[in-house]
Amino acid sequence: MSLAVANPAFAPSARQARNALALLAAALVLWMVFGVWPDWLDNLLLGKKAFVSAILNGITLAGLYFLVASGFTLVFGLMRNVNLAHGSLYLLGAYVGYDVAQWSGVWSLGVVGGAVAIGAAGALLQIFVFQRLTGDELRQTLVTIGISIVAADLMLAIWGGKTYQFSIPPQLDGAVTTPIITAIKSSGKIVTLRYPLYRLVVLAISVVIGVGLWFALNRTKFGGMIRAGVDDRDMLSTVGVNVRLLFVGVFAIGGALAGLSGVIGGSALSIAPGEDVRYLMASLVVVIVGGMGSIVGAAIGALLVGLAEQIGLVYLPTYGVVLTFVIMVVTLALRPQGIMGNARTRLADPPRPPAAGDIVSAEFTPATAALGVALILFPLVASPFVIFQLGSQTLILGAIALSLMVLAGYGGMVSMAQLTVAGVAGYAVAILGPNSTGVLGLNWPWWIYAPVAILIAGLVSALIGAIAVRTAGIYTIMITLATGAAFFYLAQQNYSLFNGHSGFRGLAPPDVFGVSWRKPIPFYYLSLAVAAICYSAVVYASRSPFGLALMASRDNARRARAVGHNVTTLRIAAFLYAGLIAGAAGVLYVWFNGRVSPGTVSVSEAVGVLVVAVIGGVRHPIGPFLGAALYVLLKTFAIDLVGADRFNTLIGAIFLIIVFVSPDGILGMWRRIAPAFAQKPLREAQEAPGTAFDRGPQGTRNVGGWK
């Protein structure tokens, strides 16, 4: 008998491992604060002061991002209401707070005024928008996008394009001495870091609000009622709770947080047009990284984003925005629902613009032939201005929106990155082909750089799809929108590859076969040919096994998997296919404009493509071209209607009307109206005596032999 006793190797528990990591982190912080760095580390990190300042700036910026994102995650995460006008609420709160502070001379009244005003705006949004669109996440998204378009334009009209700066109270202004040692002089004197007091105040406010929100949602009756109302509002109503009033209160709190953060953020930085987009993007990334509906997750996401942005600003100034994007991609790859999110997020059914089987079939009819002939003969009756500015631009924007229609209509995936993909093709044309900027311009022949640019666009689109399809529902819109914003900021900050703000000029189609394709008529026919090829490719794909499988995955992904389809691969392939279409249109787009710059791929322009697709309708490939025609007409002649400066208000209002009245766009509106025109003669004939429409002997109505 062996007396040996099993002595397994020591294996620390998870709790012990966490405690060890916490002790290590605490030791690292203490060393960073009080320690003296060796020369090699000091030189590597550009000095201890630069590194520690970047860390503190990242933490305090994270506090501001958390304040902004807390209202967003409260409304979106807990109530499943998608409010993409949250950035507009932030900026409006900042403007209102500034006016109140200027009028009263008291900064604290500006804080209260901004919070109260936007709290009321949030309550009104819930009453007049979200109560009418309960459960329809896609329409909520579209409506709030339309509201943000109108709100941004109206704020620009009221407050102008100036930058405003709050006057911070003297008690909160200036810098304070911290215990962080930055250097020790040869005389032995210790030099400590001085840091702006107001930034520390912002951090303290964010901590207090974060703890208060967590406690209210997880340890109070109010938080329990919110969660119960989201899960089963009918059951909650039976116990006497006014669910509608409860939800209005939650929206008011979310709006108040947006207004509060607007005043506090505007006091720390500044107030200017475009800040709404910046903080909306920050909120989206924070929620994507942290996880939907988690206050703790929002705090973690804000900390990661804030640190990445500020550390990148010091050590990778050109690619700082890429760090934020990398964090989002890594999080989605390892945990698609976010760090603290619920796993149900990635399994949620995506919002589908059309109902199953309700895509209008694209049959070749006499009307289609007549339209084709009219487009071919159009240059014979139009002026060069109309041919180029209206005709060509409509065809190009329609083709870009067509790529979105492929994803939204046939795949159930609404992508906000299609203009980004087209912009990638445009930048590829500028870099690989000739340009007049003097930056890069490899001067490849057109028959090489144009196909390569289209291929690059397709691959980039597939990469975006590989990231986006790991989640579902509204997350797809959020991720593609954040991706487009990341590319915009990258192009804006990078000069070695994208030439920064200026971009590239002197981009024109080549002279081929002795034809100057830049002239209005040749360029129109080139655009028409590309649009026709893209349209035909979409129609063909919709009837192919690939298209049918894609629509099956749209209608019921689980059943599609059960019959052997790889749904993930299908959706990525759809992104690739749509990317090739957007790339072809992107090549034409830079030739049309003669240049490409960050403004070409801005968030507002990306939203414009969504507006084009939704106005026309995503149930038929012709819809995006109809939407593009209306969009270009309004953009060209808006000066005669509302003035050139208020175009966004006009197009945003039309967008809102169409989303509310006819979610499937102009085509859907026509489908509702057309039967009325067709049935009117029938009714009149039925009332006429002595016709084939007289009632039969059994009281039935005979209609030419129909029963």
Set out the domains of the chain in order of their start, with CATH numbers: 47-345 (no CATH), 369-663 (1.10.3470), 671-701 (no CATH)
What tens digit of pLDDT does each residue of 104-126 get?
Answer: 999 999 999 999 999 999 999 99
Confidence of residue 11 (pLDDT cuts 50, 70, 90): low
pLDDT score for 12: 66
What tens digit of pLDDT does each residue of 71-83 get?
Answer: 888 887 667 777 8
Write a three-state SS string for 467-526: HHCCCCCHHHHHHHHHHHHHHHHHHHHCCCCCCCCCCEECCCCCEECCEECCCHHHHHHH
What is the pTM (predicted TM-score) of this model? 0.84
Taking 80 as the threshold, does the pLDDT of residue 285 lie above it? yes
What tens digit of pLDDT does each residue of 486-506 get?
Answer: 899 889 888 888 998 899 999
Confidence of residue 361 (pLDDT cuts 50, 70, 90): low
Phi-psi region at 445: left, alpha or beta (left = phi > 0; alpha = psi -120 to 50)? beta
Mean pLDDT of all residues in 524-537: 95
Taking 60 as the threshold, does the pLDDT of residue 6 lie above it? no
The answer to whether residues 417 and 481 touch, using CB atoms and an 8 Å cutoff, is yes
Taking 50 as the threshold, does the pLDDT of residue 350 lie above it? no
Taking 80 as the threshold, does the pLDDT of residue 413 lie above it? yes
Kindly report the average pLDDT of the chain as a whole number: 84
pLDDT score for 294: 82
Dist CA 444 CA 532 (whole Å)? 27
pLDDT score for 535: 94
Taking 90 as the threshold, does the pLDDT of residue 453 lie above it? yes
Share of the chain above pLDDT 90, in %: 38
pLDDT score for 391: 95
Per-residue CA distances from 112 to 60, 262, 529 (Å): 22, 11, 58
Among 173-177, 279-283, 297-301, 358-362, the range scoring the smallest mean pLDDT is: 358-362
333 vs 534, which has greater pLDDT?
A: 534
Taking 90 as the threshold, does the pLDDT of residue 396 lie above it? yes
What tens digit of pLDDT does each residue of 628-657 get?
Answer: 999 998 888 876 777 667 778 888 888 888
User: Per DSSP, what are the bridge partners of residue 595?
Assistant: 505
- Name the residue among 135, 106, 114 with its Cα closest to residue 71: 114
Confidence of residue 220 (pLDDT cuts 50, 70, 90): confident
Find the angle CA(551)-CA(419)-CA(146) to the nearest 5 degrees. Answer: 85
The answer to whether residues 30 and 181 touch, using CB atoms and an 8 Å cutoff, is no
pLDDT score for 639: 67
pLDDT score for 344: 52
Share of the chain above pLDDT 70, in %: 88
Kindly give the residue spans of alpha helices, DSSP state H, lying in 35-106: 39-44, 48-73, 79, 86-104
The DSSP H or E segment spanning 151 is helix 137-159
What tens digit of pLDDT does each residue of 435-444 get?
Answer: 888 788 899 9
pLDDT score for 629: 93
